[in-house]
A and B are shown apart, each in its own frame.
Chain A
Amino acid sequence: MSRNKCGNRKKATSGTIIIFILCLIVAYIMIIPFFWMVSASFKAKTEIFTKPIQWIPKVFRRVNYETVFNEIPFPVYFLNTAKVTICVTVLQLITCSMAAFAFAKLNFPGRDKIFLGYLATMMVPWHAIMIPQFMVIQKFGLYDNHLSLILTGAFSAFGVFIMRQNMLSIPDSLNEAAKIDGCGPFGIYTKIALPLSKTGLATLTALTFTNVWNDYMGPMIYLDTDTKKTIQLGLATFKREFDTNYGAIMAGTVISLIPVVIVYALAQKYIVEGVAFTGVKG
């Protein structure tokens, strides 16, 4: 954040007070939906749409969480999503950092042309190619299999791009020195490139994790069996089937958000940093 370089005026002017109040109002608008969500998840059905609204429940009831855990396979959804998310994230870290290393630190014919191809496909919206991609998955016999989500998510041009930018900032003199010491490309990759691009790895981890965790349309297309569904798909189906069980829907929503909140708390800096890259992502 940019701070005024002249910090000599410490007195709060009336202008800054107005801005501060505006900030508070916006913060309120940003937070209140989440407040509603948590609050409603602890209420009985009749206590939710009261007049006036009881923002803090009189009694905290567990009934909605019991519904979510016992009547629909929410824990299964949760585990499925965790499995897919972790697999995609790990695979992306490996494949993207390796490709990025090749693009940033190794010389071979056709390198820049291939990279241009990567850049060009970053602008292909997934929605435009989801049908042919679905056909490929079908050909492999992976429909209704978690592998469909894992494989289609494991290779990202965007991830390669982030990692490449990071590795370009590693000075070449380090590589040269390692080469003279008899270090091969693999050694340079594991001993120099990876340890020195921790920021990129952290950014990619955080972004991929939240993206895959929040994915809805991918699972919707690729999964069919109820016990294979991911949490977003499960939540959406539950919402459709029990339209008026407001409290339970909110309980499910709360649970689905917990991992993302944890990631945000741990890696806020890296996630915000990732925004800068998206500017070029297009």
Chain B
Amino acid sequence: MRQKEKKLKVKKKRSSKLDRREWLAGYLFLLPNLIGFFVFTAIPVIMGFIVSLTDYSGFGKLNFIGFQNYIKMFSDSSFLIALKNNLFYTFTSVPLTILFSLMLALMLNKKLYFGNGFKTIYFFPNLTSMVAVGCVWLQLFETKNGPVNQLLASFGVENPPKWFWGTSTAMLSIVIVVVWKQAGYYMVMFLGGLKNIPFHLYESAKIDGATPLKAFRYITWPMLSPTTFMVTILTFIASFQVFDIINVTTEGGPGRATNVLVMRVYQEAFRYGRMGYASAIGYFLFLIVFILTLIQWRAQKRWVNDDM
């Protein structure tokens, strides 16, 4: 009996030694990434908030001014216009992306000749850079003799839109380009969601004499709702980070028609040297994305039983 206890103790000791070796290994493996993560992500997160409470201009000492930057934001017409533009962009690009990508997914969810080829083609624009895409679409939307307006002219449109160069159409042009570029990406997500809908549901619906439209309304749409919700949140979040395409095509113009939040952060910081104010706008952006992500996580826990 006593011997057995002794044995156990020895075993425990040895195993704790082994444990400690594994602990050490764990930390060592983690270290390279953790240092980088700390220096370039964790510290900036904290620093960003501190800087947003100052009037830092890129040089000199941090001079704290409390929440003035945040208060200033809501009486700054440039910021408010950018926010308004950004909201317009969000509430057009999100539904259009969902509509278009869901449509593509439904089309490709059938057994189709060249189906995989289509999928490959639809996904491709998503991999190209916004700079390249912007350069091409600037020419496609050329007002006088661009291919899009020539096409419209052939349909008898007399006053073709001025696209990127018109105050009322500039943001819409951006939305068109972005939807064109990212539809294939979310299509792949929707295809994943459609694949998870059990086929027997459709079979029994068919036996009950349901039309395809009814099958969509009562089977596909409700069964797909977790995917739809996720895509909505993701596109929402992405829409508050739009910048590249705008900076390449309209540079925020004409006038301030396509100035958005990230552009405000960039211009305040690197053009006017108002690092403190720009950080405050950056934190405002962070807050929006944070809330959206929280909503997503909450709902995901309820809806999706992920194996995460």
A263 (CB) vs chain B CBs: closest residue:
B127
Which of B1-9, B19-27, B70-78 lies on the face that meets chain A? Answer: B19-27
Counting contact residues on chain A (CB < 8 A from B), the size range is 35 or more
Residues of chain B within 8 A (CB-CB) of A117 are: 42
Decide if B241 is an interface residue (CB 8 Å cutoff). yes
Complex CA–CA separation, A152 to B44 (angstroms): 11
Complex CA–CA separation, A29 to B293 (angstroms): 33
**In chain A, residues 10-31, which have Cβ atoms closer than 8 Å to a Cβ of chain B?**
15-16, 19-20, 22-23, 26-27, 29-31
For residue A18, give the distance in angstroms from its CB to the closest CB of chain B.
10
B199 touches A129 (CB 8 A): no
Residues of chain A within 8 A (CB-CB) of B135 are: 235, 239, 249-250, 252-253
For residue A194, give the distance in angstroms from its CB to the closest CB of chain B.
12
For residue A55, give the distance in angstroms from its CB to the closest CB of chain B.
9
B29 touches A37 (CB 8 A): no
Which of A155, A235, A268, A271: most chain B CB closer than 10 A?
A: A155
Given known contacts A256-B131, A260-B128, A272-B188, A127 and B262 CB-to-CB distance under 8 angstroms: yes
Complex CA–CA separation, A232 to B118 (angstroms): 28
Out of A48, A114, A135, A186, which one reaches B25, CB within 8 Å? A186
B192 touches A123 (CB 8 A): no
**In chain B, residues 245-260, which have Cβ atoms closer than 8 Å to a Cβ of chain A?**
247-248
Decide if A101 is an interface residue (CB 8 Å cutoff). yes
Out of B122, B278, B293, which one reaches A131, CB within 8 Å? B278
B32 touches A131 (CB 8 A): no
Complex CA–CA separation, A213 to B233 (angstroms): 26
Interface string of A205-239 (1 = CB under 8 A from B): 00000100110110001000000000010011001
B122 touches A27 (CB 8 A): yes
Complex CA–CA separation, A52 to B144 (angstroms): 12
B139 touches A36 (CB 8 A): yes
A131 touches B269 (CB 8 A): yes
B234 touches A278 (CB 8 A): yes
Out of B118, B121, B127, B279, which one reaches A210, CB within 8 Å? B127
**Interface of B toward A, CB cutoff 8 Å:** 19, 21-27, 29-30, 32-37, 39-45, 47-48, 51, 104, 107-116, 118-125, 127-140, 142, 144-147, 150, 180, 184-185, 188-189, 191-192, 194-195, 199, 212, 230, 233-234, 237, 240-241, 243-244, 247-248, 262, 265-266, 269-270, 275, 278-279, 282-283, 285-286, 289-290, 293, 296-297, 306, 308
**Interface of A toward B, CB cutoff 8 Å:** 1-5, 7, 15-16, 19-20, 22-23, 26-27, 29-34, 36-37, 40, 48-53, 94-96, 98-99, 101-103, 106-109, 111, 114, 117-118, 121, 123-136, 151-152, 154-155, 157, 160, 184-186, 189, 210, 213-214, 216-217, 221, 232, 235-236, 239, 246, 249-250, 252-253, 256-257, 260, 263-264, 268, 271-272, 275-276, 278-280, 282
The 3 closest A-B CB pairs, nearest first, are: A155-B36, A108-B26, A214-B129
Interface contacts beyond A36-B139, A101-B29, A135-B47: sample of 14 additional A-B pairs, CB < 8 Å, sorted by A: A4-B110, A19-B112, A26-B118, A36-B140, A49-B146, A99-B32, A108-B27, A125-B241, A132-B51, A132-B279, A135-B275, A239-B248, A264-B124, A282-B237
